Structure 1
């Protein structure tokens, strides 16, 4: 009820402004009066989450860089709705910014599905380089043209995770170790195809039931962001962690394009600068948290493995082709990415 009520209040507020001849959702003043321009931003993460600390830095930086002429009000923990609801809010102009990963924009630009392809990028560094490529820019331009959404953190340097791992009851140090491994997965056709191709026996189990499934021996392993291994207590029932970089994730601030263009140029510049600086700070916080997780794992006698993932990536070719045949994946974009990777 809180979410619905807040959304209604926001809508009423916008209508009242328009009725009074003030600035509407996509129309603002020059920002030179005493009254600041206030942007509404939403995220699904709770306020005490490490990612949210980076968002709070963004709020502060915007106000500092604009001498208070521009402010950002952030609503945490899905107060403005679910992922899809908030994206629709931003498209309509009822909300100005939404903060999440790029996979949620797949309904508007199909090629964003490449951001969830398992083992397409060897590590975060390669993924970061790709995010500045012409291939990525083309997808972002299409998102602006089709639904009027712009990623204002242009460096896309706010990394979630910061990487994914495999937690297991026995060592996984090479591709052969995955054969016959009973693996917990979410209900994802892409992930199931990928891990099956690597030799695992996959079982769909809710995330909240994963710890118990590992403890009872229902499964031997599960995939997870490194940041949640200790908070989920996986280290109590699995003593092996393999770094996989299964699919890197970049958090983006998607803003209503009309609202962005309505801002004075100096405020646009300040907003982008603040978003990029917040991404750097947020990722720093996440990396620091990861160091703490790794220290906990060491104390719990958990072995962490950095392995050669190239044999795993080679196995993905048949998976990608299967996804092309099913219509899920654009073969032209896949070929462009493979060519780009070969040139790096």
Structure 2
């Protein structure tokens, strides 16, 4: 009898350990001999180009690994805010995320958000995909974040109920911005009154006059129907903000070299797919916004550039970093 009882106790202990291992949310718990589950979170709606690009990544990875890697996509902040999703990636509770909130771990990656840093998409992509783009992202490895590619957020423009043709037109204007330090610094340098608020609250805030203006890429302006509450689309192009896409470093190291290569190449291809969609659709969206009654203003950008040069110098002094200085010097030249 004692012998049978000891066997039952041992079997119960083994079962308990098995259940515990299955419950743990780390990368190893998502892997088996037959399948590796890669959970990928982002903050955009399913109708957004970002989601389409992430789904393209899923398609590429699953096809090229013959189903060995199962990519599970969680859009629309289903797993938390962008900042929370990145934290989940550092812990390997989530394996990948596409987000603009990486500066909470290292401020140097914010260098790409400096005002009037790039003149064109092609110039931005050349830097992002080159050695300097990799070098700026490298310190994030200390927090278990490996940037595989830079997806697209696009150039940002101001919408308002009065035309913005010169920096003076922004003086005192209450404009909604994201709570990014460089966004706030940029509009403070231009004399505006930057007012951070959640994006989901913005339409009503514009409708009620809580804020006078806002700034976003064309895709966001179009998707949110800001033409219904804003009269002017001012093509200021004041910031280019990329969308770094990172994978948990421990999860990455658990993959074979062949699987790493597939995931890396698929991320880079999906990033370019995203970029091409944004550029291709942007002109069409602008035309439709004008057809809906929005007036487009194309101001001379040089006065805006001069007004915001101080933001570059302050950032350079604050970071005092060789790679940041090298990147800024190369672009300036």
TM-score in same-fold range (> 0.5): yes
Q: Distance in 1 between matches of 2:257 and 2:241?
A: 30
Task: Pick closer, same or farther for the CA change 1:299–1:227 going to 2, 3 Å.
Answer: same
Pick the structure with more helix per residue. 2
Report the CA distance between 1:133 and its aligned residue: 4.2
In 1, are the aligned partners of 2:173 and 2:212 still within 8 Å (CA)? yes
Task: Pick closer, same or farther for the CA change 1:13–1:52 going to 2, 3 Å.
Answer: farther
Tell me the SS of whatever aligns to 2:158: strand
Tell me the SS of whatever aligns to 1:41: strand
Superposition RMSD on alpha carbons, in Å? 3.3
In 2, are the aligned partners of 1:28 and 1:262 still within 8 Å (CA)? no
Paired residues for 1:157-196 under 5 Å: 158-160=151-153, 162-179=154-171, 181-186=173-178, 190-196=182-188
Q: Distance in 1 between matches of 2:76 and 2:165?
A: 37
Long gaps (5+) in structure 1: 1-11, 19-23
Tell me the residue number matched to 1:115. 112
The equivalent position to 1:335 in structure 2, one of 320, 325, 329, is 325
Report the CA distance between 1:208 and its aligned residue: 4.9
Task: Pick closer, same or farther for the CA change 1:267–1:314 going to 2, 3 Å.
Answer: same
Larger radius of gyration: 2
Report the CA distance between 1:46 and its aligned residue: 3.3
Tell me the residue number matched to 1:9. none
Long gaps (5+) in structure 2: 1-17
- 1:140 and 2:148 equivalent? no
Paired residues for 1:1-344 under 5 Å: 15-16=21-22, 25-26=27-28, 35-101=34-100, 104-144=101-141, 146-153=142-149, 156=150, 158-160=151-153, 162-179=154-171, 181-186=173-178, 190-202=182-194, 207-208=199-200, 210-211=202-203, 214-215=206-207, 220-322=212-314, 327=318, 329-330=319-320, 334-343=324-333
Aligned length in residues = 316
Spell out structure 1 runs of 4+ moving beyond 6 A.
none
Structure 1-normalised TM-score? 0.77
Q: Distance in 1 between matches of 2:82 and 2:192?
A: 31
Tell me the SS of whatever aligns to 1:39: strand
Structure 2-normalised TM-score? 0.79
